[in-house]
Structure 1
Amino acid sequence: MSQPDLLTDSAAIRARVDELLPGIRRDLEDLVRIESVSADPARAGEVRRSAEAVAELFRAERFDSVDVVSAEGGAPAVIAHKAGPEGAPTVLLYAHHDVQPENDHADWDSPPFEPTERDGRLYARGAADDKAGIAAHLGALRVFGDDLPVSVTMFIEGEEEVGSDTLPALLAEHAEALRADVIVIADSGNWDIGEPALTTSLRGLVRADVEVRTLTHAVHSGMWGGLVPDALIALSRVIASLHDDAGDVAIAGLVSSPAADVTYPEERLRAESGAVPGITWMGTGSAVERLWTKPSLSITGLDAPKVDGASNTLVPAARAKISLRVAPGDTADNALACLRAHLEAHTPWGAELTLTVVDTGEPTRIDATGPAYDAARAAFAEAWDGTEPIDMGVGGSIPFIAEFLEAFPEASVLVTGVEDPDTRAHGANEGLHLAEFERVVLAEALLLARLARR
């Protein structure tokens, strides 16, 4: 079929996607079988093997250049380029080939690195996050074969799951190779099955370890209790100060902002969150404001003596890991400064407080207006049979998006993805909804055609 037909005939694109889908899935499953866990030093070789496998997929598509690169000792990424017609826009397609640890295999209903289909989902670590992003990009390109309607640069990162520490160096070192008119970042998701979305805001992150110390060594709780404070009680009071009675974050100076006018039904919210039946929600404001555009704070780890075998002594020191999600419009630096001031002001009885920053990431707010966004919305609506996409926020953090916005301020950045509310990315039984995946591939192919006609 000729390129003009594909540029103007969406039915031809749809038929081509349907024809290509079995091969796309085979390539996805081959990638999933590679245990590219970037957080595990013992599997660094698998991360390298994953990068090489991705590079081979691009070589098979006859890309003009394909390079496996790294910066500052970071994990391998893949940069590939294929030219389109002269004068056509350049589109950068991003995804990442590294995956989260699978953790306890007993929690999985099938082997985590053996893709398994059940009830319309493909289960495996990385089946959705984010090797399906790579497969979706490849599928959209295969629709056009060697007659791409736009010039395409592929950037497949290898350390997103460990914080993208060397991404700024990669962007700086390869700035000219990565420069584009439109950047499509396939690492987010859709609002629901059958309801597409563009992600237009994400919260940032401040993670820190907090230690409270009251003693140089443990002492007898009977001999000294009632006079000498123990570290667990002191840390508990610090933690309790971080939220008000309604459950809102009580740290002065943090920024909040309004969210899109999107209703999150109560029944769906309970089902998707896994909340126990009697739980009530924290905070004030609409559900999506609390999830997307207000700060949140969680205690994700605690170091203290175990209950079993605990001695009858006052604990000299206790530690907690704090995960502070930073609302769009705020900055990680401001949030860290506010957190530090709050902790210091609320540490009781003269206890020693030590704050150690683990990592930070900037929040993102995207001005999703202009021709590229219009083209994306039209392509999504067509792929989802007339259902218009919503502009949604994400409560989690993808700090590298801010890096792209800073490095390429003239580009239109579209944040898309293959996930849905039951994807369970990062958890056991991560799964890709196969029907939605087909729509994602179709939407991206339609988007490339629309960008060429722009």
Structure 2
Amino acid sequence: MNTDAARRQIDQQWDTDIIPTLERYIEIPNQSPDYDPEWRTNGLLQQAVELARAWVEKQHLPGSRLEVLTAEGRTPMLLLEVEGDGEDTVLLYGHLDKQPPTEGWEEGLGAYQPVIRDGKLYGRGGADDGYALFATVSAIQALQAQGVKHSRLVTLIECCEESGSGDLEYYVDLLAPRIGTPGLVICLDSGCGNYEQLWSTASLRGVVMGNLTVQVLTEGVHSGDASGIVPSSFRIARQLLNRLEDPDTGELLPEWLKVEIPSYRVEEARRTAQILGDTIHTSFPFVPGMRPVTSDLTELMLNRTWRSTLSVTGQAGMPDVEHAGNVLRPRTSLKLSVRLPPTLIAEDVVPRLKALLEENPPYGARVTFDGVDGASGWDAPELAPWLRATVDEASRAFFGREACYMGEGGSIPFMGMLGERFPEAQFLITGVLGPQSNAHGPNEFLHIQTAKHLTGCVAYVLERYHAERKG
């Protein structure tokens, strides 16, 4: 493949065709099913899929077959198959569902308001993960335009990744004969440490989420009358969280939430810390005077990728401050998100976590930990020498710098499932979610130049994979 010609073609297509289509995609408020109970009837997920389907059809990919699969009660799945030279298969992945809009967008920006500013496309879902299908098709077209041979390509684009990919296994089972046994899996739903080189994800943390509810009364009562007699449900919730987390350091206390970090992953974190430097923490929008939990950059990387952590991401039972009266509230509910090391099994953690929080409640309060859901993390198999060399070559060809590897703090449920199904496959997990891109939060953006470079890298890897298989 002539990389200069591929770069020109990819850049032009992004500028004239892909970005305008992504802008229309951003305008669709298609939240993931967990956040939109009306998704079955409001047609927003279907609208996003139809936009993607129509765009792919317009590309007239030679040897392609495009299909939108639906099943009763399940989110739609877009399947794109492209014939290749030979029987070996590459599986590619992305998703079209979005997180909720959230508050805090800067003036002039909005979740469903596409804005291009300083080389970035702002709006919900452009980077996580609407761009993936467009980048995949553009990479295939770059190969086909030069007559470069490639393997058979199967692309799955799901619509419930942000809700834990609950429908994905059903579709993978359904499509198993058509998917076959891929020798390479490429996932474009991950992050990057900076926008200057190709980043390959080495591991992903798992997660367990649930609602901790503490009830002390059947109804609220005057705080002047009850305080000092009735324990506060909020104080009891704090006590229960202290069973789980050291309130001073943030370290999770149970030994069953800890793993021994492999020495090569520690060294990998050290190298990443050297490359990224203080941007590991300065990329976050800290308030003035705020500092990270430690000044040791390697420890920050390990905290983010290989250690369990707790976040309280929501609440119920507390009115807004402007509506809060002098009432001792009957209950407090907190949404807990417990991130797990890549090698911990989520289903083993759930009963232990539930017992830790529910057993022997202070003052005999009514305590429940329910609505529990979880997904295990993933530790990537070692890259074959040809793939490690190819990833580095691709990064140098399109970014101008060597490739880098790091763990990610988030979860991609798809990866653990595929790792079990295809243990002999090689994996390239990458993405455009770099510093301040803020997926799931306000001001999410797609770094356009990085998306273009990444598209070229995918084309490069597809070419070299096929050459390797033909050997």
Say whether residues 1:11 and 2:13 are aligned partners: no
Cα contact 1:215–1:230 (8 A) shared by 2:
no
In the alignment, the residues of structure 2 paired with residue 401 and residue 70 of structure 1 have an alpha-carbon distance, to the nearest angstrom, of 22
Number of the residue aligned with 1:29: 23
Report which stretch shifted further, 105-114 or 227-236: 105-114
Report which stretch shifted further, 124-133 or 182-191: 124-133
1:177-196 alignment runs, 5 A limit: 177-179=178-180, 180-196=182-198
Deviations 1:377-401 (A, max 9, x none): 332232221x222211111112221
Report which stretch shifted further, 136-145 or 271-280: 271-280
Say whether residues 1:90 and 2:89 are aligned partners: yes
Find the residue that maps to 1:336 and give its secondary structure.
Answer: helix
Cα contact 1:255–1:329 (8 A) shared by 2:
no
Number of the residue aligned with 1:40: 36
Residue 253 (structure 1) aligned to one of 242, 250, 256: 256
Find the residue that maps to 1:342 and give its secondary structure.
Answer: helix
In the alignment, the residues of structure 2 paired with residue 217 and residue 25 of structure 1 have an alpha-carbon distance, to the nearest angstrom, of 53
Cα contact 1:72–1:166 (8 A) shared by 2:
no
Number of the residue aligned with 2:417: 403
In the alignment, the residues of structure 2 paired with residue 276 and residue 113 of structure 1 have an alpha-carbon distance, to the nearest angstrom, of 26
Cα contact 1:201–1:392 (8 A) shared by 2:
yes
- The Cα shift of 1:188 comes to 0.8
Deviations 1:393-432 (A, max 9, x none): 1111122211221232232221111221121222222211
Find the residue that maps to 2:94 and give its secondary structure.
Answer: strand
Cα contact 1:326–1:363 (8 A) shared by 2:
yes
Find the residue that maps to 2:257 and give its secondary structure.
Answer: coil
In the alignment, the residues of structure 2 paired with residue 367 and residue 296 of structure 1 have an alpha-carbon distance, to the nearest angstrom, of 24
Number of the residue aligned with 1:205: 207
Find the residue that maps to 2:430 and give its secondary structure.
Answer: strand
Deviations 1:255-304 (A, max 9, x none): 23434222176642443122223334337971101111000001112223
Match for 1:158: what amino acid?
A: C
Cα contact 2:135–2:451 (8 A) shared by 1:
yes
In structure 2, relative to structure 1, the CA distance for the partners of 1:64 and 1:269 (3 Å cut) is closer
Match for 1:53: what amino acid?
A: L
- The Cα shift of 1:198 comes to 0.4
- The Cα shift of 1:177 comes to 1.6
Q: Percent identity, please.
A: 29
Number of the residue aligned with 1:145: 144
In the alignment, the residues of structure 2 paired with residue 197 and residue 77 of structure 1 have an alpha-carbon distance, to the nearest angstrom, of 27
Number of the residue aligned with 2:397: 382
Match for 2:463: what amino acid?
A: A
Report which stretch shifted further, 184-193 or 227-236: 227-236
1:60-139 alignment runs, 5 A limit: 60-87=60-87, 89-104=88-103, 107=106, 109-139=108-138
Number of the residue aligned with 1:413: 427
Q: So what's the TM-score if we normalise by structure 1?
A: 0.89
Report which stretch shifted further, 239-248 or 116-125: 239-248
Find the residue that maps to 2:370 and give its secondary structure.
Answer: strand
In structure 2, relative to structure 1, the CA distance for the partners of 1:203 and 1:309 (3 Å cut) is same
Cα contact 1:117–1:123 (8 A) shared by 2:
yes
Runs (5+) with no aligned partner, structure 1: 1-5
In structure 2, relative to structure 1, the CA distance for the partners of 1:115 and 1:315 (3 Å cut) is closer
In the alignment, the residues of structure 2 paired with residue 429 and residue 338 of structure 1 have an alpha-carbon distance, to the nearest angstrom, of 37
In structure 2, relative to structure 1, the CA distance for the partners of 1:255 and 1:334 (3 Å cut) is farther
Structure with greater proportional helix content: 2
Runs (5+) with no aligned partner, structure 2: none
Cα contact 2:75–2:159 (8 A) shared by 1:
yes
Find the residue that maps to 1:325 and give its secondary structure.
Answer: strand
- The Cα shift of 1:196 comes to 2.2
- The Cα shift of 1:368 comes to 3.3
In the alignment, the residues of structure 1 paired with residue 451 and residue 4 of structure 2 have an alpha-carbon distance, to the nearest angstrom, of 18
In the alignment, the residues of structure 2 paired with residue 102 and residue 247 of structure 1 have an alpha-carbon distance, to the nearest angstrom, of 28
In the alignment, the residues of structure 2 paired with residue 158 and residue 27 of structure 1 have an alpha-carbon distance, to the nearest angstrom, of 18
In the alignment, the residues of structure 2 paired with residue 238 and residue 310 of structure 1 have an alpha-carbon distance, to the nearest angstrom, of 24
Match for 2:390: what amino acid?
A: A
In structure 2, relative to structure 1, the CA distance for the partners of 1:185 and 1:108 (3 Å cut) is farther
- The Cα shift of 1:72 comes to 5.0
In the alignment, the residues of structure 2 paired with residue 252 and residue 299 of structure 1 have an alpha-carbon distance, to the nearest angstrom, of 21
Number of the residue aligned with 2:442: 428
Deviations 1:129-181 (A, max 9, x none): 11111121111011123744221111111121222111111111111222322
Cα contact 2:143–2:463 (8 A) shared by 1:
no
Say whether residues 1:263 and 2:273 are aligned partners: yes
Deviations 1:348-381 (A, max 9, x none): 2222211103321111111132133442333223
Cα contact 1:90–1:182 (8 A) shared by 2:
yes
Deviations 1:307-361 (A, max 9, x none): 4454545433221111100111111123223322322457322222111033211
Q: So what's the TM-score if we normalise by structure 2?
A: 0.86
